[in-house]
């Protein structure tokens, strides 16, 4: 019996079982390059980023028995991603994969060939594609919106509420306390916001101290990060707790959150710090609703101290391994402390966040829905010299808005709607042509104007290989300087062929598969189109050696 116990213990340890009988998705200890709930420019991170030794092609396994409910292949977002539903009501997600396992890949290729598309979003019925616990499902990569090899891993409920995977007993070595990066005190006076950065003094390993003299009502804003052992990566902090003496006032604890909250929460950050310094200062005030899944709030988070009295406030930062940091703030009722004003830059058009707007100027029209902006704001709205000005570089935009841009030129060949940002960089702006207007839906403020792109996309073969075998590939660099690649199609011997596209590296590639019958001599045709319809056609003859 004892022996059996040891064997089981050995195997559960060896295979990386957790107490919930979840396998590790990778074959070695988990190191994180991102954690659950950390704030990104797109909002909260809804999973963990697991390091894959800086490489692509590492084995990825299913954490439990289940069935594949969805597979997506995309050049953005999660790239190649697998969703597996498990019987305990949970779903696991494996993103940015380089490749699927052979069995899964064959099934996906069938649908790619059927629809003649590389990108795909395929849902599967229950038990259509069964998966065993620990089964190899794919290989780690860097596909989609990923800027370095890693596995983006999520655990969700079946109805897509992301949960913190580290609550499922995955071991991540961590003896490092969370850190406070920046601490601000804010006060509102006569409708303006004033702020002061507080100097923090380290008392010992876990305690930091600061003091603030004020007789005004104050709230605090904090930027915090956390690291785990054996890595240099800077990640988010699991728990932030604002306390006065022993009373918990506001607590953030990232066990779960929703996709609605993912982006909405950006409204609780200090916008100026976010846009000018990329600092994620969470404002601990009464605007934070306890309806958020990760928030517990008993009081407003605003503090007032009478003249000559004091108040002891603590912000406690914790990780999942109970490493704690305490930031102790002594508030002293004294009026001598100087606050800096936050200069709000005012523009010509006032926008209330809770109203919708339909603005027309010289035939150009802009429509903002309610809550397009997180807070009341102003924007520079003008149409002069054939340019639509829609500017406020100091605010993030919550929801997309529509622009109807009048076309006052005769030649429409290569014409497109362009946008330039506050730094003067120009971009192609996706839009539809309708009744002499470009209609765009966008989240980007800036200057909008018309421009022409008459230059065709370019294509260049990688390497000089004219003959390939079944383990080799055909690769090409494709690029379009001005507006970018809209689509590409490739045919081998007049049959549509699956070419994978990696826009980060501007390449497309073909690997011999079971769906294309390669002959000794093969005709390849590639057609690439840019965003305005300039087309380049490329032809080649290549040889296949079985």
The tokens for 141 are 């990569």
Q: Which is nearer to Zn ion, 25 or 512 (CB)?
A: 25
Q: Which is nearer to Zn ion, 49 or 270 (CB)?
A: 49
Token pair 């950065």 in the structure block, residue: 197
Q: Which is nearer to Zn ion, 152 or 328 (CB)?
A: 152
Q: Which is nearer to Zn ion, 49 or 261 (CB)?
A: 49
- Which bin fits 506, alpha (ψ -120 to 50), beta or left (φ > 0)? left
Angstrom distances, CA of residue 304 to CA of 188, 313, 336, 340: 12, 11, 15, 19
Nearest distance in Å: CB 374, Zn ion: 24
Cβ–Cβ < 8 Å for 69, 127: no
Nearest distance in Å: CB 504, Zn ion: 16
Q: Which is nearer to Zn ion, 46 or 325 (CB)?
A: 46
Token pair 């003299």 in the structure block, residue: 213
From the list 70, 89, 72, 91, the residue with the least C-alpha distance to 80 is 72
Q: Which is nearer to Zn ion, 152 or 447 (CB)?
A: 152
Q: Name the residue with the smallest CB distance to Zn ion.
A: 152
C-alpha to C-alpha distance for 461 and 542, rounded to whole angstroms: 12
Stretch that binds Zn ion, among 98-106, 147-155, 275-283, 296-304 (CB under 5 A): 147-155
C-alpha to C-alpha distance for 418 and 143, rounded to whole angstroms: 28
Stretch that binds Zn ion, among 41-49, 60-68, 329-337, 410-418 (CB under 5 A): 41-49
Please, what is the Cα angle at 202 between 174 and 225, to 5 degrees? 40
Q: Which is nearer to Zn ion, 152 or 280 (CB)?
A: 152
Q: Which is nearer to Zn ion, 37 or 512 (CB)?
A: 37
Give Cα 256 to chain centroid, integer Å: 17
Stretch that binds Zn ion, among 3-11, 150-158, 299-307, 437-445 (CB under 5 A): 150-158
Stretch that binds Zn ion, among 47-55, 260-268, 354-362, 414-422 (CB under 5 A): 47-55
Answer yes or no whether residue 154 interacts with Zn ion by CB under 5 A: no
Stretch that binds Zn ion, among 44-52, 205-213, 216-224, 401-409 (CB under 5 A): 44-52
Stretch that binds Zn ion, among 43-51, 255-263, 366-374, 507-515 (CB under 5 A): 43-51
Q: Which ranges of 234-375 does DSSP label H, i.e. alpha helix?
A: 259-264, 271-277
Nearest distance in Å: CB 73, Zn ion: 17
Give Cα 529 to chain centroid, integer Å: 28
C-alpha to C-alpha distance for 62 and 60, rounded to whole angstroms: 7
The tokens for 324 are 């704690």
Nearest distance in Å: CB 33, Zn ion: 8
Q: Which is nearer to Zn ion, 92 or 316 (CB)?
A: 92
Please enumerate in sequence order all residues whose Cβ is within 8 A of that of 302, keeping only pairs 6 or more positions apart, or say none: 217, 218, 219, 285, 286
Answer yes or no whether residue 64 interacts with Zn ion by CB under 5 A: no
61: number of Cβ within 10 Å: 22
Binding residue for Zn ion (CB under 5 A) from 32, 33, 39, 49?
49
SS (H, E, C) 91-121: EEEEEEECEECHHHHHHHHHHHHHHCCCCEE
Nearest distance in Å: CB 43, Zn ion: 12
Nearest distance in Å: CB 444, Zn ion: 23
Q: Which is nearer to Zn ion, 117 or 231 (CB)?
A: 231
C-alpha to C-alpha distance for 518 and 512, rounded to whole angstroms: 8
Stretch that binds Zn ion, among 148-156, 299-307, 355-363, 389-397 (CB under 5 A): 148-156
Nearest distance in Å: CB 381, Zn ion: 37
Please, what is the Cα angle at 102 between 100 and 104, to 5 degrees? 60
Nearest distance in Å: CB 207, Zn ion: 33
Nearest distance in Å: CB 321, Zn ion: 21
Q: Which is nearer to Zn ion, 145 or 506 (CB)?
A: 145
Nearest distance in Å: CB 74, Zn ion: 14
Q: Which is nearer to Zn ion, 24 or 152 (CB)?
A: 152
Nearest distance in Å: CB 95, Zn ion: 7
Cβ–Cβ < 8 Å for 220, 185: yes
Counting residues that bind Zn ion (by CB under 5 A) gives 2
Answer yes or no whether residue 152 interacts with Zn ion by CB under 5 A: yes
C-alpha to C-alpha distance for 225 and 208, rounded to whole angstroms: 15
Please enumerate in sequence order all residues whose Cβ is within 8 A of that of 278, keeping only pairs 6 or more positions apart, or say none: 41
Nearest distance in Å: CB 435, Zn ion: 42
Binding region for Zn ion (CB under 5 A): 49, 152
């Amino acid at each position: 019996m004892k022996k059996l116990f040891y064997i089981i213990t050995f195997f559960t340890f060896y295979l990386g079982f957790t107490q919930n009988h979840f396998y590790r998705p990778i074959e070695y200890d988990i190191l994180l390059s991102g954690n659950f709930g950390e704030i990104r420019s797109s909002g909260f991170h809804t999973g963990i980023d697991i390091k894959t030794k800086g490489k692509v092609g590492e084995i990825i396994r299913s954490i439990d028995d289940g069935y594949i409910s969805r597979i997506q292949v995309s050049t953005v977002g999660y790239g190649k991603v697998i969703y597996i539903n498990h019987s305990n009501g949970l779903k696991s997600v494996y993103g940015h994969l380089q490749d699927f396992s052979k069995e899964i890949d064959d099934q996906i290729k069938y649908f790619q060939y059927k629809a003649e598309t590389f990108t795909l979003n395929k849902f599967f019925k229950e038990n259509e594609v069964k998966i065993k616990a620990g089964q190899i499902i794919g290989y780690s990569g860097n596909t989609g919106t990923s800027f370095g090899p890693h596995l983006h891993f999520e655990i969700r409920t079946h109805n897509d509420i992301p949960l913190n995977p580290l609550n499922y007993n995955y071991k991540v070595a961590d003896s490092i306390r969370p850190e406070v990066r920046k601490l601000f005190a804010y006060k509102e006076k006569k409708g303006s916001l004033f702020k002061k950065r507080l100097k923090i003094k380290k008392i010992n390993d876990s305690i930091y101290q600061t003091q603030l003299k004020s007789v005004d009502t104050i709230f605090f804003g904090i930027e915090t990060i956390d690291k785990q052992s054996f890595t240099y990566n800077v990640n988010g902090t699991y728990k932030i707790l604002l306390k006065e003496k022993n009373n918990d006032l506001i607590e953030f604890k990232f066990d779960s959150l929703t996709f609605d909250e993912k982006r909405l929460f950006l409204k609780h950050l200090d916008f100026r710090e976010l846009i000018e310094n990329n600092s994620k200062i969470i404002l601990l005030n009464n605007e934070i609703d306890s309806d958020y899944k990760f928030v517990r709030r008993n009081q407003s988070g605003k503090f007032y101290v009478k003249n000559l009295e004091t108040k002891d406030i603590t912000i406690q930062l914790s990780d999942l391994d109970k490493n704690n940091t305490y930031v102790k703030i002594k508030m002293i009722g004294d009026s001598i402390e100087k606050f800096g004003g936050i200069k709000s830059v005012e523009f010509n058009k006032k926008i209330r966040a809770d109203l919708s707007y339909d603005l027309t100027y010289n035939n150009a029209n802009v429509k903002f829905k309610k809550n397009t902006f997180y807070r009341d704001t102003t924007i520079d709205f003008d149409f002069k010299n054939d340019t639509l000005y829609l500017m406020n570089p100091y605010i993030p935009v919550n929801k997309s808005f529509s622009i109807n841009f009048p076309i006052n030129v005769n030649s429409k060949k290569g014409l497109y709607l362009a946008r330039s940002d506050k730094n003067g960089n120009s971009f192609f702006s996706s839009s539809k042509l309708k009744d002499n207007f470009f209609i765009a839906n966008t989240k980007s403020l800036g200057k909008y104007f018309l421009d022409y792109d008459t230059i065709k996309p370019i294509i260049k073969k990688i390497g000089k290989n004219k003959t390939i075998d079944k383990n080799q590939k055909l690769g090409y660099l494709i690029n379009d300087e001005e507006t970018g690649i809209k689509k590409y199609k490739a045919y081998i011997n007049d049959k549509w062929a699956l070419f994978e596209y990696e826009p980060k590296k501007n390449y497309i590639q073909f690997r011999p598969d079971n769906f294309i019958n390669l002959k000794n001599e093969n005709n390849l045709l590639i057609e690439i189109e840019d965003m305005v319809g300039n087309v380049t056609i490329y032809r080649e003859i290549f040889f296949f050696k079985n």
